[in-house]
Structure 1
Amino acid sequence: MTKLLMGSFQLMKSLNRSLILNMIRSEGPISRAEIAKKTSLTPPTVSNLVKELIDTDIVMESNQGESRGGRKPTMLVINAKNFYIIGVDVGPSSIYSVLTNLNATVLDSVKINLTSSMTNGKLLEVLSDSIRQLFQRNAKIDQERMIGIGVAMHGIVDVENGISLYAPILQLRDVPIKEHLENEFKMAVKVENDARAMALGEAWFGNGRKTDEFVCVNVGEGIGAGIIINGKLYHGDDYLAGEIGHMTIDINGPKCSCGNYGCLQALAAGPFIAERMKKEIAMGQESLITEMAGGELGLITGELIYDAAVKGDQLSQRVLDETGRYLGIGLTNLIHTVNPKKVIMGGGVSKAGHFILDSIKKTIEQRGLTIQAKSTEITASKLGDQAAAIGGVALLLVELFATRSAE
């Protein structure tokens, strides 16, 4: 019985410490008295727990606040600049790693391109190399102040065990990312699907702040979505939630990398947009892009199509508009299923701006069931190319500021 009571006491202490830490993070600078008032904890309890947090150096005292007739209160803030996290974006064609502080300010970054034929071992080798380079270039950083490594991995991820179950574009299965990195770097590692990590990054630092219900859609070489419900990531029963790239849009459509036909990804992801443009030109359609690619159809990319559209090329504009319609159909299905307050668009294809976004919004307005569904806010990612890597950073922040059930 005594052991049970002791455990309950330690749990309450942990819960209260987490409560205080989160309040300092979200509302700081804040005084001890304000924390006591807002949490209904006693002033002595707040003082004791704040002292523990200051001793760990995660919290620091800042400038004094305004006086209300007595001594000026000392304010508390998170000591964000003296702790570090590595965030990694493992995409189909490259690995992009960043070193940040707790405010997700990028201090250094490394990008390594992947070869066309990857094995599990080779991917883990490149992943380690990118992180190792950050450590080597920032050797003065105290390793004790490294919180950990967060990996945003495309495809289906076993979040609990940190395993990439299936990366369809790389055609890799069962990659033990967490085990490998923890063994090599001796620190905490969190692994998540890239679109879900992006959603978490937007929730902490981007256009998802102060929004409890939203979807972040990553449209690049593949298509995925991160779903935030009640302020938390939704994973589904076996981590499959958000794989909207493989929802069927056209049963007679082109073959997808997953093996099915007519997936949203096979109609609207970057490589497939380029393939559609190549077919149009091969069939005799005129376009500025032929000259821009030097007559080499193999050099046509989504980025080149966008550049041609900006220059007024009608075929490029039509292809991007059609892409937006496909995405709009997929997003309408998602809106009818999840009913989010907003949809945040990220990834390379989203950079096409109004050429795609206008078509997406128009399609949703045409197909939405209700006035609210038709007017669902569609906005671009605030974090841009760094969204997935910053999402990796957010994975560790969630862990750091989470309420733990035991010490």
Structure 2
Amino acid sequence: MTNGRRAIGLDIGGTKVAGAIVGEDGTVHAERRRHTPGTSDAGTMNDLLREMVEELRADEAGTGVSAIGVGAAGAVEWPAGRIRWAPNNNYENWDVRGVLESATGLPTVVDNDGNVAGFAEARLGEVRNDDMVLLTVGTGIGAGIVLGGKIYRGTHGLGAEVGHMNVNPEGPRCGCGNYGCLESMASGTALTRMGRSAAAHDPDGMIAGLAREAGGEVTGQHVTMAAIAGDKTAQSLFQRLGRALGIGIASINAIFEFEVVLIGGGLVDAGDLLLEPARRAAREFHYGPPDVRPIPPVVPASHRGDAGKIGAALLALEETRS
């Protein structure tokens, strides 16, 4: 027997799909993880999601699972559960909700991955607040905006795309097709791009060396490893990345006036390498005198990379509550 309701939470990102069975209190009872296929079209992804759900339901913790929640990168139509378009994946007009409900018989709720991650932090994070934003810094940059205790989605459920706020019109091309989006300047993809450029200019440097040892191209992980080891070039890349993130934080806070800004996603594991330059830039570009308009603290999210799957499950439980 199980205590309390449980749901399956699925977090679909640009490079991985994470799944879990989650209780109403946020406890993770079982987990699965897959790499996002290189050909991440809707058909391939349908097969992957069905397999993950089947595995999770077959787990001993899967008894009594009553719903499925999905958090997905891209423009998700709420509450229809259709992913209209995703800049870092190959699917569009993908009816995730319809596919999973048909395959499993379970009610399914689909929302943007940033929204569900923010929902998890607002409900169960260490810094719970009814007016906050979570920025997920991973392959791309997502956002979960919570106002008055509720997820802000916009008129058609397609809002809060903070990662595609422009911070430098002369900047690099983003996956969405525009130039200088926050995502193109401050994400894991941006760190990989900058790391490869640095390695090309200094093939004997630590970043290039770590990639050679791993037998592949430079990734953001190599840059992070080098920065933690004290490599000055890698640390300078984090200074650039964090500064861009801080400019974005100051810009969005000028509109909403949040009580707190949380940083989640894979890159938050770099800690102060990312957060300190982000905080400095957020202060530098803050609108108004701090004694009149307080600068919100910028702190790491409680659930880090787990917020997406936990939030997706919690949202499913809330939306299907009888």
- The alignment's TM-score, normalised by the length of structure 1, stands at 0.75
CA offset digits 1:69-98 (Å, max 9, x no partner): xxxxxxxxxx98242211110111221110
Residue 301 (structure 2) aligns with: 381
Residue 37 (structure 2) aligns with: 115
The whole-number CA distance in structure 2 between the counterparts of 1:117 and 1:206 is: 35
Question: How far apart are 1:115 and its partner, in Å?
Answer: 1.6
Structure showing the higher helix proportion among its residues: 1
Q: Aligned match of 1:162 in 47, 62, 81?
A: 81
Residue 137 (structure 2) aligns with: 219
- Conserved 8 A contact 2:131-2:148: yes
Aligned residues: 320
Q: Aligned match of 1:398 in 313, 318, 322?
A: 318
RMSD of the TM alignment (CA)?
A: 2.0
Higher relative contact order (CA 8 A, sep 6+): 2
Question: How far apart are 1:242 and its partner, in Å?
Answer: 1.6
SS of match in other structure, 2:193: helix
The answer as to 2:247 corresponding to 1:325 is no
The answer as to 2:7 corresponding to 1:85 is yes
1:353-364 paired onto structure 2 within 5 Å: 353-364=271-282
Out of 322-331 and 234-243, give the one that drifted further.
234-243
Question: How far apart are 1:146 and its partner, in Å?
Answer: 2.4
Q: Aligned match of 1:350 in 260, 264, 268?
A: 268
1:234-253 paired onto structure 2 within 5 Å: 234-253=152-171
Question: How far apart are 1:171 and its partner, in Å?
Answer: 2.8
Question: How far apart are 1:244 and its partner, in Å?
Answer: 1.3
The whole-number CA distance in structure 1 between the counterparts of 2:126 and 2:158 is: 24
1:174-323 paired onto structure 2 within 5 Å: 174-209=93-128, 211-284=129-202, 287-294=205-212, 298-323=216-241
The whole-number CA distance in structure 1 between the counterparts of 2:57 and 2:2 is: 19
Query: Which of the two has higher C-alpha Rg?
Result: 1
Structure 2 residue identity aligned to 1:396: A
Structure 1 stretches (4+) deviating beyond 4 angstroms? 295-298
- Conserved 8 A contact 1:368-1:374: no
Q: Which runs of no fewer than 5 residues in structure 1 stay unpaired?
A: 1-78
The whole-number CA distance in structure 1 between the counterparts of 2:27 and 2:239 is: 35
Question: How far apart are 1:374 and its partner, in Å?
Answer: 5.8
Residue 6 (structure 1) aligns with: none
The whole-number CA distance in structure 2 between the counterparts of 1:349 and 1:292 is: 18
CA offset digits 1:203-241 (Å, max 9, x no partner): 1111342x1100011110011111101110111122232
Out of 319-328 and 260-269, give the one that drifted further.
260-269
1:32-181 paired onto structure 2 within 5 Å: 81-138=3-60, 141=63, 145-181=64-100
Question: How far apart are 1:307 and its partner, in Å?
Answer: 1.3
- Conserved 8 A contact 1:278-1:297: no
The whole-number CA distance in structure 1 between the counterparts of 2:244 and 2:4 is: 46
The whole-number CA distance in structure 2 between the counterparts of 1:140 and 1:160 is: 25
Structure 2 residue identity aligned to 1:300: V
- Conserved 8 A contact 1:247-1:263: yes
CA offset digits 1:166-196 (Å, max 9, x no partner): 1110131111011111111111110010000
Residue 9 (structure 1) aligns with: none
CA offset digits 1:366-395 (Å, max 9, x no partner): 111230656211111111221100011121
Q: Which runs of no fewer than 5 residues in structure 2 stay unpaired?
A: none
- The alignment's TM-score, normalised by the length of structure 2, stands at 0.94
CA offset digits 1:354-374 (Å, max 9, x no partner): 011000111111111230656
Residue 32 (structure 1) aligns with: none
The whole-number CA distance in structure 1 between the counterparts of 2:169 and 2:77 is: 29
CA offset digits 1:27-80 (Å, max 9, x no partner): xxxxxxxxxxxxxxxxxxxxxxxxxxxxxxxxxxxxxxxxxxxxxxxxxxxx98
Alpha-carbon distance change, 353 to 139 in structure 1, aligned in 2, over 3 angstroms? closer
